Chains A and B, each alone.
Chain A
Amino acid sequence: MTQAHATTHDAHGHDDHGHAHDPNQAHHFESMEQQVASGKLGMWVFLATEILMFGGLFCAYAVWRARHFEAFEIGHKQLNTLMGFINTLVLIASSFTMAWAVRTAQLNKNKATAVLLALTFLGGCGFMTIKYFEYKAKWDHGIFVGEPWGHWNTFREEAKTELEAEKTATQLAPPTTGTPGLVNALPTPGKTPEGFIGADAAAADAHGHEAEAHAPPAAHGEGHEPAAEGESAHAAAGEHHIDPDDALKARTFFSIYFCMTGLHGLHVLVGMGLIAWIFFRALKGEFTETYNAPVDLVGLYWHLVDLIWIFLFPLLYLIS
């Protein structure tokens, strides 16, 4: 949209302004400034549509959280706050390199722009990798969006086994479990001696290794056997100290979790694609003081994607 109007460019000599055209100026614009302003306006309006689209999800989140707060309370404890936090930092850093790239593009420094864009792209990769491990960990425990692919009974069984394993391992008196079906069956301190999930990096690491020992997700439907050697790692991480009876409730939370982070993840992927595109253009040295709109516009998009995550992180990971 920012390039010349291929089929009609030659047919039309719009040469009555007496100054040479930037080759990047499309024929239907009077000037480069007008073209840049148009692109920006279009991008801002498009970002408004993105916000409204996520707005629908935030509405759904609000309705559900108001109605099923206990599900959110229980569900969010399954998330790894540390990973979420690292991801937040990664995205903020990538926003910074992106903003810097916009500046260098304006200063006609294509090399620096390319480097900064590469860093931004790596940030996106980092985010998606961490997200992958988070998703994988959930998947391995039968936690996935909805019914046919989430194995909520597996999840519950696992929680039960774990509870048993822990009881024998620590030789503690059986903790007072919540009454089955009690609505606000919040985990009692006795049940979560290690405190918050994934409070330390070692736990996250242990978890990552353990995940590989599991059957591949595709085979999941045939019945998931809790891997015995993984259990102690879990117990150490304190990740599954959940009342088996609450396991099903977490499903509600994870539906919205996967919808929101899934849609956001798709946006990150699109953003990475766009960054890769302008990266190659920067490598070819295409950007100048007057022509750098693509970097600018992709930057705007990337900042929005980051911004949405800044909202998602506390809403999903930091519930109390």
Chain B
Amino acid sequence: MTTTTTTTTAGLYDSEGQEKNYLNHSKGLWSWLTTLDHKRIGVMYMICVLSAFLLGGIFALLVRTEHLTGGETIMSAETYNRVFTLHGAVMVFLFIIPGIPAALGNFVMPIMLGTLDVVFPRLNLMSWYLWMTGGVFFVASLAFGGIDTGWTFYTPYSTTYSPYGPAIICALSGAFILGFSSILTGVNFLATMHMLRAKGMSWFQMPLFCWSLYATAIMQILATPVLAITLLLLIAERTLSIGIFDPSLGGDPVLFQHFFWFYSHPAVYIMILPAMGVVSDVIAVYSHKHIFGYKFIAFSSVAIALLGFLVWGHHLFVSGQSALLGTIFSLITFSIAIPTAIKVFNWLATMYKGSIDLKCAMLYAMSFIWVFSIGGLTGLHCAAIATDVHLHDTYFVVAHFHYVMVGGTVFGFLAGLHHWWPKIFGKMYDEFWGLVAWALVFIGFNLTFFPQFFMGAQGMPRRYWHYEPQFQAYHVASTIGAYMQGLGFVLLAGVLLYSLFAGKKAPRNPWGGTTLEWQTTSPPPLENFPHDEPPIVGDPYDFHAIEYKEELEGYVLVAAPAAHDAERSIVEEIVEGAEADSYGSRGN
């Protein structure tokens, strides 16, 4: 293993000498649509969720353009309501929730575990088809006039007042189906991590990305069914007037909010935990240093997953919840910041005295830390009841959740996308243009959302079509930022797609990764690892086991990774700190 290079490995070539991998072992659309290979399913998910991201992005730019002026710029108030609703609904249900687990997780996780596939390959394909079906329902709701309730479907608006009944039912059915797609992914991933870790791989030799997917799976499994029943009840209310949420029939609209947030608050962690997992792995690789506090990061994911179920009431501070309940929810919400902060400090400690490579993936990961911290800290403003009474339903909340969802999840997704792109497609993209795209996205993002904190604190309500002149400067700045981001994303897509045609062939391990997916070829063969090279399991962050080889332009394994768990004693951490000091003196 230590001396083989890709060119001498047997069994990887077909009779014509062409390299065999999961991409070319069979051809044609049909072979993709019926594939049970987790890698292909991951790629199909990637194409789909990124298309959804594009659609949601177009809606976002329309919203921002409308806000260039306080009155009508390009659309009427009614149209505006539908555009912002679809923006939110598409981004949340079609992109951000499935995004990292279903696209990147599907591809990478089984390889990281050194196994052949997920536990239930058919279920995996089925969840992709469910995603597609849900997506069709969402798009079809446009044909019925579009929904205008906001992505939260709040009653009594969705049950009584919104004129777009059929569109609402269509979108609710879509969200219901997407929920099942998410549940099946969760069941599959959780069982895979329990059952299919490579021989000899302990729980604490799983990469942190897997741990985050594990925590995510818990939430997908326990929270999503409640959303499913809520949506069914809402459909029944709208079509049959069962009277559960409609006060005129004895129902309670706030009950809907409880049901909805019982799912949707955990859902925000379904969105962010996988991104945190990506960032944990990326930070270690580009700092070329063992992850700091492995168990803390792993267990804080699980802690977030469990605590995340107990805080939904912070969305109902002004919905007529009792003061006692509000206080309890407020306190638990504060406490969830603790495991979150634990992660942030561990990432910083990992980078400390590492030899940091400012590659695209690392830049996205570092921006994640910065931007997500802003998002998390402003979450605390919202979690304090007295402030939230003022901030609720203003642009402050809009800015808060975009900082965590775009700055957090989307940046995490992009970090992972750049990190694993050479592995997935076997091509290197252009770092320089990747950096330019990153700069546009990063600056554009902050320009878009930072002004919204000010606007919101000054009282600009969210979801309003009209606004007072005093807010115009902020809105215009925000819109310019949005265009800049849009440009950045287009450039980013261009850089990555161009690499597919003109990129250099990727080595097995271009970045110096130590998890198992970097031991196999890029792209991996159908069976994930070459026949004669089963993965070598050990501490997933043992950077002493790899070495850079100039002639391969990549790293190779030079020793078996240390056989112990990834968690190390504080002594080891300090010793490595001292070693890192000596790197530092080499003038890094």
Q: What is the bound-complex CA distance between A27 and B34, given in angstroms?
A: 17
Q: Which chain B residues lie closer than 8 Å to A147 at the CB level?
A: 240-241, 249
Q: What is the bound-complex CA distance between A168 and B173, given in angstroms?
A: 51
Q: What is the bound-complex CA distance between A45 and B192, given in angstroms?
A: 12
Number of B residues near A (Cβ < 8 Å) is 49
Q: Which chain B residues lie closer than 8 Å to A264 at the CB level?
A: none
A146 pairs with B240, CB closer than 8 A:
yes
- Residue B29 lies at the interface, judged by CB distance under 8 Å to chain A: no
A45 pairs with B187, CB closer than 8 A:
yes
Q: How far is the CB of A25 from chain B (nearest CB, A)?
A: 12
B243 pairs with A251, CB closer than 8 A:
yes
Main secondary structure of the interface of B (DSSP, over half): helix
Contact of B120 among A1, A12, A49, A54 (CB under 8 A): A1
- Residue B257 lies at the interface, judged by CB distance under 8 Å to chain A: no
Contact of B240 among A53, A71, A149 (CB under 8 A): A149
A60 pairs with B527, CB closer than 8 A:
no
Q: Mark A148-172, 1 if CB is under 8 A from B, else 0.
A: 1100000000000000000000000
Q: A1-B120, A28-B121, A259-B236 are in contact. Are A146 and B225 (CB under 8 A)?
A: no
Q: A41-B195, A48-B221 are in contact. Are A255 and B115 (CB under 8 A)?
A: no
- Residue A57 lies at the interface, judged by CB distance under 8 Å to chain B: yes
- Which of A61-69, A121-129, A300-308 is the interface stretch? A61-69
Main secondary structure of the interface of A (DSSP, over half): helix
Q: A57-B229, A60-B233 are in contact. Are A5 and B191 (CB under 8 A)?
A: no
Number of A residues near B (Cβ < 8 Å) is 48
Q: How far is the CB of A94 from chain B (nearest CB, A)?
A: 25
Q: Which chain B residues lie closer than 8 Å to A194 at the CB level?
A: none
- Among B25, B117, B188, B250, the one with the most A-chain Cβ atoms within 10 Å of its Cβ is B250
Q: Which chain A residues lie closer than 8 Å to B242 at the CB level?
A: 145-146, 255-256, 258-259
A53 pairs with B36, CB closer than 8 A:
no
- Residue B224 lies at the interface, judged by CB distance under 8 Å to chain A: yes
Q: What is the bound-complex CA distance between A11 and B526, given in angstroms?
A: 8
Q: What is the bound-complex CA distance between A30 and B196, given in angstroms?
A: 9
A8 pairs with B526, CB closer than 8 A:
yes
- Residue A320 lies at the interface, judged by CB distance under 8 Å to chain B: no
B187 pairs with A46, CB closer than 8 A:
yes
A49 pairs with B119, CB closer than 8 A:
no
Q: Mark B226-239, 1 if CB is under 8 A from A, else 0.
A: 10111011001001
Q: Which chain B residues lie closer than 8 Å to A60 at the CB level?
A: 233, 244, 255
Q: Mark B196-225, 1 if CB is under 8 A from A, else 0.
A: 100100000000000000000000011111
Chain A positions 252-297 with a Cβ under 8 Å from a chain B Cβ: 252, 255-256, 258-259, 263
- Residue B259 lies at the interface, judged by CB distance under 8 Å to chain A: yes
Q: What is the bound-complex CA distance between A7 and B124, given in angstroms?
A: 14
Q: Which chain A residues lie closer than 8 Å to B239 at the CB level?
A: 146, 148
Which residue of B has the minimal Cβ distance to A27?
B116
Contact of B119 among A38, A146, A148, A255 (CB under 8 A): A38
Q: Which chain B residues lie closer than 8 Å to A52 at the CB level?
A: 222-223, 225-226
A12 pairs with B229, CB closer than 8 A:
no
- Residue B183 lies at the interface, judged by CB distance under 8 Å to chain A: yes
Which residue of A has the minimal Cβ distance to B190?
A45
Q: A38-B191, A56-B233 are in contact. Are A146 and B241 (CB under 8 A)?
A: yes
- Residue B327 lies at the interface, judged by CB distance under 8 Å to chain A: no
A28 pairs with B117, CB closer than 8 A:
yes
Q: Which chain A residues lie closer than 8 Å to B223 at the CB level?
A: 52
- Residue A6 lies at the interface, judged by CB distance under 8 Å to chain B: yes
Contact of A1 among B123, B183, B222 (CB under 8 A): B123
Q: What is the bound-complex CA distance between A66 and B159, given in angstroms?
A: 23
Q: Which chain B residues lie closer than 8 Å to A1 at the CB level?
A: 119-123
Contact of A5 among B26, B36, B229 (CB under 8 A): B36
- Residue B252 lies at the interface, judged by CB distance under 8 Å to chain A: yes
A56 pairs with B229, CB closer than 8 A:
yes
- Residue B37 lies at the interface, judged by CB distance under 8 Å to chain A: yes
Q: What is the bound-complex CA distance between A12 and B191, given in angstroms?
A: 23
Q: A146-B240, A252-B250 are in contact. Are A259 and B233 (CB under 8 A)?
A: yes
A28 pairs with B115, CB closer than 8 A:
yes
B241 pairs with A41, CB closer than 8 A:
no
Q: Which chain A residues lie closer than 8 Å to B586 at the CB level?
A: none
Q: Which chain A residues lie closer than 8 Å to B123 at the CB level?
A: 1, 42
Q: Which chain A residues lie closer than 8 Å to B373 at the CB level?
A: none
A53 pairs with B34, CB closer than 8 A:
no
Q: What is the bound-complex CA distance between A265 and B221, given in angstroms?
A: 23
Q: Which chain A residues lie closer than 8 Å to B187 at the CB level?
A: 42, 45-46, 49
Q: Which chain A residues lie closer than 8 Å to B31 at the CB level?
A: 7
Q: What is the bound-complex CA distance between A7 and B460, given in angstroms?
A: 56
B191 pairs with A49, CB closer than 8 A:
no
Contact of A41 among B36, B194, B232 (CB under 8 A): B194
Which residue of B has the minimal Cβ distance to A58?
B229
- Residue A34 lies at the interface, judged by CB distance under 8 Å to chain B: yes
Q: How far is the CB of B257 from chain A (nearest CB, A)?
A: 13
- Residue B35 lies at the interface, judged by CB distance under 8 Å to chain A: yes
Q: What is the bound-complex CA distance between A58 and B547, given in angstroms?
A: 58
Chain B positions 31-66 with a Cβ under 8 Å from a chain A Cβ: 31, 34-37
Can you list 29 residue pairs at the A/B interface with Cβ under 8 Å?
A1-B122, A5-B36, A7-B35, A8-B526, A8-B527, A11-B25, A14-B116, A28-B117, A37-B195, A38-B191, A38-B196, A41-B190, A42-B188, A48-B221, A48-B222, A49-B183, A52-B222, A53-B228, A56-B228, A56-B229, A56-B259, A57-B233, A64-B244, A67-B252, A145-B240, A146-B239, A146-B240, A252-B249, A255-B242
Which 3 pairs between the two chains have the least Cβ-Cβ distance? A146-B240, A56-B229, A53-B225
- Partner-B contacts on A (CB < 8 A): 1, 5-8, 11-12, 14, 26-30, 34, 37-38, 41-42, 45-46, 48-50, 52-57, 59-60, 63-64, 67-68, 71, 145-149, 251-252, 255-256, 258-259, 263
Extra A-B contacts (14), CB below 8 Å, given A7-B37, A46-B187: A28-B115, A28-B121, A34-B195, A34-B196, A45-B187, A56-B228, A56-B230, A145-B240, A145-B242, A149-B240, A252-B249, A255-B243, A256-B242, A259-B236
